[in-house]
């Protein structure tokens, strides 16, 4: 679960650096990671089903363990999909408020320092400083 939360945060940070809003970046990261998350959770829960329905000696211990794992995966997945993006948006807003917007790299390799100045404006500033 923690690795997936880190991946969601990393994907959202990359989208934010590409110029998306904080909200859109968080939602895009969740949408992109939804399928692998659900595949992992469904596989784990499906693996616990034989332990839940098994009978015989020692079945009660296995059943309790399997139900705990199943419930933990379900609650953890819900928290992962709904809580992690909220915390990302909160902490990203705080980060940008106190430390400024992250530097963006344009596809051509040109650096955009902020939304206020375009690459052309930066070139004009450089040429004015050189003259």
pLDDT recorded at residue 71:
94
For residue 75, give Cα distances in angstroms to 28, 78, 80, 126: 22, 5, 8, 54
pLDDT recorded at residue 119:
60
Q: How many CB atoms lie within 10 A of CB 58?
A: 8
Write down the pTM of the prediction: 0.65
Asked if pLDDT for residue 67 goes beyond 90, the answer is yes
Asked if pLDDT for residue 97 goes beyond 90, the answer is no
Contact 73, 41 (CB under 8 A): yes
Spatial neighbors of 115 by CB under 8 A, at least 6 apart, are 101
């Amino acid at each position: 679960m923690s690795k997936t939360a880190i991946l969601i945060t990393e994907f959202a940070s990359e989208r934010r650096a590409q110029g998306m809003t904080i909200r859109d970046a968080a939602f895009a990261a969740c949408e992109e990671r939804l399928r692998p998350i659900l595949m992992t959770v469904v596989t784990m829960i499906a693996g616990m089903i034989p332990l839940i329905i098994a009978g015989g000696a020692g079945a009660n211990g296995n059943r309790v363990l399997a139900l705990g794992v199943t419930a933990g995966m379900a609650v953890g997945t819900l928290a992962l999909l709904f809580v992690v993006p909220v915390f990302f948006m909160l902490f990203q807003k705080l980060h940008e408020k106190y430390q400024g917007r992250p530097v963006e790299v344009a596809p051509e390799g040109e650096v955009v320092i902020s939304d206020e100045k375009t690459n052309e404006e930066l070139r004009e500033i450089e040429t004015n400083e050189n003259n």
